[in-house]
Amino acid sequence: MKHSFLLFFFLIYLIICLNPVSAGVRKKSRIFKVLVAGDVMFNWGIRNSKKILGKKMLGTELRNVFSEAEVRMINLETPITTHKEGMQKNKSYIFRAVPEDISILQELGVNTVFLGNNHAMDYGDTGIKDTFNYLNQYKIRFSGAGINREEAYRALKVGPGIKLVSVSGIGPTNLFAGSKSPGVAHLSYPSLKNALKKKRKSEIFILSCHWGVEYNPEPDKNQRNLAKKLIDAGYDIIVGHHPHIPQGIEIYKNKLILYSLGNFMFGSRNQYLNHNVIAILHFKENQLITCEIIPVFGKFQEEEHHVFRILEGQDRDVFFTEYKILCKKLGTNLIIKNNRAYIHFPTAR
């Protein structure tokens, strides 16, 4: 009898140890954060600002914002190469980064970049292959380009149950990867649908799209229709860039469409510039639960040097007033709280 009681209590002990939830010790699900920012290049005064200002080129609050997320992604709109041959002809603007520029990304902790854009191939096959090598050397993941078409479209795992595909809808035919040639993934619906073939039901796919019309504050009808078609195909979040200014946010079937983040670290100084946005995506149990919007300074027309920083004070308030209107036109309401904007998503129960 005594042995039976001992065995009974031993079994109860094992059940409690192996199933802590039944003992009232419910472990809270961890929130995983992914930060996305817009276009980055290092020409047109940015490299010079870095030489003059050093670490002061990046504001303290900006660094703090980047440190909030586990994954920190930007659109790298330039090849990284020391070679000057192979430069694309008949292009209005050609960008080239050198390996030393990567230190700027490292200071912000950038660990993932989009290469699906119209400048990744500015220095041809040599430039894009050098870019792959330098990014690998500095342990920065990339998506949207590859040594062939298959690699360019390959989904990149960026977090638990979260994958990234990056494409460009801008650029000439020779920009895009072929079956045996390097290049960028093209914004092609059949190819993007094919990239979803191995998607698991529990996975979240983020699609980075280089698209739209430069300096147009609103996405056009074709963009919106394509975005919804891609959501219907299986993509969960669309992150856009290329217009160089921010566009509004649309929610379609409870899925997030960021049509354009605007610039992030870009050397332009033209009259059309506006402030820009960073988004932090909050994930919990393989679901997007919150999109957090943080405005960043972008009107460099009258500034001597580029100092990249979080937008503050009256400038921030005015920007949010304008940005809320852009989002409202797309049926999205932003919640402004503690100098940031939020969109909350219902979670499955």
- 72 domain residue, yes or no: yes
Predicted local distance difference test score (pLDDT) of residue 24: 43
- 104 domain residue, yes or no: yes
- 298 domain residue, yes or no: yes
pLDDT digits (tens, 9 = 90+) for 153-190: 999 999 999 999 999 999 998 999 999 999 999 999 99
- 179 domain residue, yes or no: yes
Predicted local distance difference test score (pLDDT) of residue 27: 53
Asked if residue 214 lies in contact with residue 221, where contact means CB atoms within 8 angstroms, the answer is: no
pLDDT along the chain (349 residues), means of 10: 53 51 54 98 89 92 97 98 82 92 96 98 96 98 98 97 98 94 98 95 97 96 98 98 97 98 87 93 96 94 87 96 98 97 84
Task: Assign residue 151 the CATH number of its domain.
Answer: 3.60.21
Of 233, 208, 239, 253, the residue nearest 345 (C-alpha): 253
- 21 domain residue, yes or no: no
- 24 domain residue, yes or no: no
For the record, the structure tokens of 266 come out as 């870009």
- 4 domain residue, yes or no: no
Predicted local distance difference test score (pLDDT) of residue 142: 99
- A 10 A CB-CB count for 253 gives 8
Predicted local distance difference test score (pLDDT) of residue 209: 99
Tally of structural domains, the chain: 1
- 11 domain residue, yes or no: no
Domain that holds residue 154: 33-344
